[in-house]
Amino acid sequence: MFRTVKELIELAELKDTSIAEIMIEREMTLYELSYDDVFNRMQAQLVVMEEAIESGLDGVRSVTGLTGGDAVKLNAYLTEHEPLSGPILLDAVSKAVATNEVNAAMGKVCATPTAGSAGCVPGVLFAVKDRLKASREDMVKFLFTTGAFGLVVANNAFISGAQGGCQAEVGSASAMAAAAVVEMAGGTPEQSAHAFSITLKNMLGLICDPVAGLVEVPCVKRNALGASQAIVSADMALAGVESVIPTDEVISAMYRVGQRMPVAFKETAEGGLAATPTGKRLAREIFSNQTTK
C-alpha cells in the first residue's frame, strides 16, 4: 500500500516492477479480485475513451453551441499540414479536444480523474501509442499508472475544481498523463515522478472559472494545453531533467494553494473568464434561452 508518491516509487523499485503493476496489485488485494478482473475493468474504460475520441473527431456540438467542431478542424489541419509543434503534440491536442467536446455535449466519457479533465489522459495516450509501439495491454497499463498518481493526489489534496480550482483537475490530469508517458517510454519510476512534478508545478494556481458554469469555456482548451504539456514534461524527464521540489511537496503545495484560493475561482462561475463582459453576456443568453424553451 502507498499513500505518497515517494512510497509508490519505493514500492516499484523494491519489487523491481512498474507503477502500473503496483496499482493492479493494490486493487486486487483491496477488493479480493483476480488480475484479470482488475485488468478487464480497466480495458472497458479504455474502450469508452476510444469511442469518445472517435465521436469527437466525427464532430459534435454542445447544446449551447459554445463548443464543438474544433477537434474536426485540428484533425484536418493535421492531415494537410506539418504542425509547428509536431504531429504527436497536435494529435494529443486534437484527441483531448475531441473527448471534452463529447463531454460538453453530454456524451459518454470516462472521468480521468474528472469529466471536466477527461481529455488529457486519453488525448496523450492515443497520441503516443503508435510512436511508442504500445500494445493494447501497454495502453491499459498506462491507465493504471495514471490512476496510481491520481489516487495520491485525491487523498492528499483534491481533484475537483470546486475544492481546489483547475490546478486540481486539469493540473492533476496532465501530470498523471506525463508520469504514464514516461513509464510507457521505458523511463524509471523516479523519472515518472519528475515528469509529474514538472507538469503540476506549471499548473499551480490555475483557477476554475467556467463561463455560465458550463464545462465548456475554457475547459475544453485547457485539456488541450494540458495534454501538450504532459508530453513536453515527459520528454524533459526522459532527458534527465529533475524537479527540485519533490513530488509529494508539489502535491501539498497544490493543496495549500487551493485552500487559499477565493471561492470565486472554484467552479462558482463568479470569477476569471466567467466574470468577463463576454462571459457574463453568454451566461445571460444561455439561461434566457433555457427558461423560454
Partner 1 sequence: MGKFQSVFDIIGPIMVGPSSSHTAGAVKIGRAARYLFAAEIHYVKCHLYGSFAKTYKGHGTDVALIAGILGYNTDDKRIIDALSHAHNQGIHIDFIEDDSAVSHPNTVRIEVMNATDHLELVGQSIGGGKVEIVELNGFNLNLSGNHPAILVMHNDRFGAIASVTEILARYEINIGRMEVNRKDVGKEALMTIELDQNIEPEVEIALREAKHILRLAKVVD
Does 214 bind partner 1 (CB under 8 A)? Our answer is yes
Does 2 bind partner 1 (CB under 8 A)? Our answer is no
Residues 25-44, interacting with partner 1 (CB under 8 A) = 26-27, 30-31, 38, 41-42, 44
User: Per-residue x/- mask for partner 1, residues 93 to 122, rule CB under 8 A?
Assistant: ---------xxxxxxxxxxxxxxx-x--x-
Beta carbon nearer to partner 1, 9 or 265: 265
Does 210 bind partner 1 (CB under 8 A)? Our answer is yes
> In angstroms, rounded to a whole number, what is the distance separating the alpha carbons of residues 268 and 209?
7
**Do 145 and 23 form a contact (C-beta atoms < 8 A)?**
yes
Q: What are 202's three cell numbers?
A: 506549471
Can you give the length of the chain in residues? Answer: 293
C-alpha distance across the termini of the chain, in Å = 52
Beta carbon nearer to partner 1, 142 or 195: 142
Beta carbon nearer to partner 1, 164 or 236: 164
Beta carbon nearer to partner 1, 85 or 155: 155
> In angstroms, rounded to a whole number, what is the distance separating the alpha carbons of residues 170 and 55?
21
* Residues in a beta bridge with 120: none
Does 198 bind partner 1 (CB under 8 A)? Our answer is no
Does 21 bind partner 1 (CB under 8 A)? Our answer is no
Count of other CB atoms within 10 angstroms of residue 16: 7
> In angstroms, rounded to a whole number, what is the distance separating the alpha carbons of residues 175 and 152?
12
Residues 119-178, interacting with partner 1 (CB under 8 A) = 121, 143-144, 146-148, 150-151, 154-156, 158-163, 168
Smallest distance, partner 1 to C-beta of residue 135, A: 18
Write a three-state SS string for 14-77. HCCCCHHHHHHHHHHHHHCCCHHHHHHHHHHHHHHHHHHHHHHHHCCECCCCCCECHHHHHHHH
| Alpha carbon separation from 159 to 113, 156, 176, 268 (Å, rounded) | 7, 10, 12, 16
Does 267 bind partner 1 (CB under 8 A)? Our answer is yes
Q: Which stretch binds partner 1 (CB under 8 A): 184-192, 222-230, 242-250, 266-274?
A: 266-274
Residues 63-82, interacting with partner 1 (CB under 8 A) = none
141 φ/ψ angles, rounded to the nearest 5 degrees: -65, -35
Beta carbon nearer to partner 1, 165 or 238: 165
Helix (H, G, I), strand (E, B) or coil at 284: helix
Binding site for partner 1 (CB under 8 A): 3, 23, 26-27, 30-31, 38, 41-42, 44-45, 48, 102-116, 118, 121, 143-144, 146-148, 150-151, 154-156, 158-163, 168, 210, 212-216, 263, 266-270, 286-287, 290
